[in-house]
Amino acid sequence: MTAWQAYELMQVEKGKTIFISGGTGSVGAMAIPIAKSLGLTVITNGSAENEKRVRALGVDRFIDYRKENYADILTDIDYVLDTLGDKELENEFKILKDGGSLVSLRGLPNGGFAKRMGMPFFKRLAFGIVGKKYDKLAAKRNQQYHFIFVHEDGEGLKKISDIFAEKQVQTSLDEIFSIDDVNKAMKKVASGRSRGKTIIKIS
Ligand SMILES: NC(=O)c1ccc[n+]([C@@H]2O[C@H](COP(=O)([O-])OP(=O)(O)OC[C@H]3O[C@@H](n4cnc5c(N)ncnc54)[C@H](OP(=O)(O)O)[C@@H]3O)[C@@H](O)[C@H]2O)c1
């Protein structure tokens, strides 16, 4: 749903290119196949040991972040899906083309986010101030900065399940924990080294 909502905001068009930062993680495991099903060329970065797995999901170009910096080699990218936040946002804007669109899952929320969420005026104002740094950065080259927090959407979920069925996309699962091991599951997720979704089984 996160990836889908990001692509809707970007208004992605078939044939264009997206960079998904840290696409070897749990978000990437869904964002990559969905981007491919929408006809996008997908570039991502991550650790070398995860390259084969994300290539199998459809990645067209893989960058090992321990060896190469994507900011030195990519330019004119149409869309960026950011999963790394503040530490990478400036570089991600750098590789984005003029007029391109960036959606962050981890950056600062901005006024646009508050408006979309239907927040009252004072909250819009507060978020407008918080997210100004990236709105200003985006405005320099006519780019767009969006922050999202995934929200429930039955219709979107139906569309995604149709894509997964039609394109025979596999869901990437990392580990399944019982509800008694919820703390172990949370610890694993917090480590930032997931290879797909972490499931808590409630029986
Ligand atoms: N706003 C929202 O609605 C929303 C929704 C979902 C998730 N999120 C957020 O999105 C972020 C990512 O979620 P996730 O579930 O995908 O996390 P995850 O499963 O823990 O994956 C994180 C990935 O980041 C990669 N990574 C770490 N440092 C990197 C670097 N310097 N350069 C490139 N890649 C790097 C890791 O790659 P390697 O393991 O290959 O080294 C790992 O695959 C989290 O902060 C999460 O809270 C937000």
Q: Is the CB of 22 under 6 A from ligand 1?
A: yes
Which of 44, 83, 151, 153 to mutate to test ligand 1, by most ligand atoms within 8 A of the CB atom?
83
CA distances to 93, 111, 112, 124 from 29, in Å: 23, 29, 27, 32
Verify whether ligand 1 is closer than 6 Å to residue 17 (CB atom): no
- Mean pLDDT (whole number) for 193-199: 87
State how far the Cα of 56 lies from the Cα of 19, in Å rounded to an integer.
17
If you average pLDDT over residues 29-54, what whole number do you get? 95
Ligand 1 pocket check for 104: Cβ under 6 Å: no
What integer is the mean pLDDT of 105-109?
97
- In sign, the C-alpha dihedral spanning 133, 134, 138, 139 is negative
Nearest CA to ligand 1 atom 20: 192
Q: What sections of 47-196 are H helices per DSSP?
A: 51-56, 70-73, 86-95, 111-116, 121-130, 132-140, 154-166, 182-190
Domain spans in the chain, listed from the N-terminal domain onward:
2-147, 172-203
Helix (H, G, I), strand (E, B) or coil at 74: coil
Largest CA distance in the chain: 52
Distance 28 CA to ligand 1 centre (A): 8
**Cα 23 to averaged position of ligand 1 atoms, centre (Å):** 7
Determine the distance separating the centroid of ligand 1 and the alpha carbon of 163, expressed in angstroms: 23
> Is the sign of the CA dihedral 62, 144, 137, 135 positive or negative?
negative
- Distance, CA 191 to ligand 1 centroid (Å)? 10
Is the separation of the CB atoms in 18 and 35 below 8 Å? yes
The pLDDT of residue 48: 96
pLDDT class for 166, splitting at 50, 70, 90?
confident
Contact 150, 8 (CB under 8 A): no
Which among 179, 197, 27, 180 is positioned nearest to 188, based on CA atoms?
A: 197
pLDDT digits (tens, 9 = 90+) for 65-103: 999 999 999 999 999 999 999 999 999 999 999 999 999
Instruction: Give distance in angstroms: CA of 122 to centre of ligand 1.
Output: 31
Q: Point out the ligand 1 atom lying closest to the alpha carbon of residue 29.
A: 16
Confirm if 41 and 103 have CB atoms less than 8 A apart: no
Q: Which residue has the higher pLDDT, 172 or 93?
A: 93
Cα(82) to centroid(ligand 1), Å: 9
Tell me which of 37-51, 82-96, 141-155, 185-199 is least confident.
185-199
Mean pLDDT of 102-119: 97
Question: For residue 139, how many C-alpha atoms fall within 13 Å in the half-sphere facing its CB?
Answer: 6
Check whether 170 has a pLDDT greater than 80. Answer: no
CATH node for 2-147: 3.40.50.720
Is a pLDDT exceeding 80 seen at residue 161?
yes
Q: Please, which pLDDT band fits residue 115 given cuts at 50, 70 and 90?
A: very high
pLDDT at 135 over 90: yes
Q: How high is the mean pLDDT of the chain? A: 95
Nearest to 101 by CA among 2, 193, 11: 11
Inter-helix orientation angle 121-130/132-140, to 10°: 60
For residue range 139-159, list pLDDT tens digits in order.
999 999 999 999 999 999 999
